[in-house]
Amino acid sequence: MKTEWAIALHGGAGTILRETMSAEREATYREALAAALSSGSAILERGGSSADAVEAVVNALEDDPLFNAGHGAVLTADGAFELDAAIMRGGDLAAGAVAGVVDIRNPVSLARQVMERSQHVLLAGDGASRFARELGIEPVSSDYFETEYRRKQLLQAQAKNEVSLDHNDRKFGTVGAVARDRAGDLAAATSTGGMTNKRPGRIGDSPLIGAGTYASNRSCAVSATGHGEMFIRLTVARDIAALMEYAGLSLEEAVDRKVMRELLEIDGRGGVIAVSREGRPVFGFNTPGMYRAAQWEGADVEVGIYAD
């Protein structure tokens, strides 16, 4: 059944178990997910664009220290912050992304400026920061991103001499949103701080169009979260769209094939959110849990954490 507008978000996937989650912490996550979603739903309800909606949702998640994006991002091996983000419109396939930015409060909003106000798709590091300053975007200090929780994670990872693909609660911490507006246009956006104790300069799938972020009105909009290297190798986001366009699979079938079959074949862990030009959003993840929420016209907000 076709729905007029629809929106979904994710806040990370991983080994998220009821038995290790306190009732208070679970309630905190559910409230945060619902609040972020409502910022996008309100835009769609009043006839706004899907691009505006996904940017608003990801901004809210970037500002929330519960999630690994923006304020509350994880740290690199050097004890610094390197943030990645991307946004894409399905109507004209316009896309923008930033990688390795160190002084941008909301990387996804800078990614949108790359899409709309430059001739490029991806800007990285100092070049992205210089572009932001040219636009009058005020930089923030690294203190803005830091939380005691993430600093402790870094010290624990360094003590074990490991790069942490998941958090202490075994959660892959990328955030993202997908949406369809009343005009039928799709959009996707993704933002992340990456991996704890990652090598400086490491870039995951989030800012790579076709890997962790993709949108096309011919098929679907997708945002991914998980072990980024695996999502890059399988071009997960674009492949889901291609399976719909060229193989005639439904969105559910395409998501299932990539997430529940092909990713697992190379030991890739994580999940995606997706929405097509028709129907409700689809979630797919091969981990015990994924922080997620969705809403569509005429329906209440749905919030989920666990697989069952």
Q: Which residues are catalytic?
A: 174
Q: What is the DSSP string of 250-265?
A: -HHHHHHIIIIIIHHH
Q: Are 181 and 5 in contact (CB under 8 A)?
A: yes
Using DSSP bridges, classify how beta strands 270-276 and 282-285 pair: parallel, antiparallel or unpaired.
antiparallel
* First-residue to last-residue Cα distance in the chain: 24
Q: Are 88 and 95 in contact (CB under 8 A)?
A: yes
* 100-121 exposure pattern, b = at least 16 Cβ within 10 A, e = fewer: bbbbbbbbbbbbbbbbeeeeeb
- CB within 8 Å of 196: residues ≥ 6 apart: 74, 75, 150, 153, 154, 157, 163, 164, 167
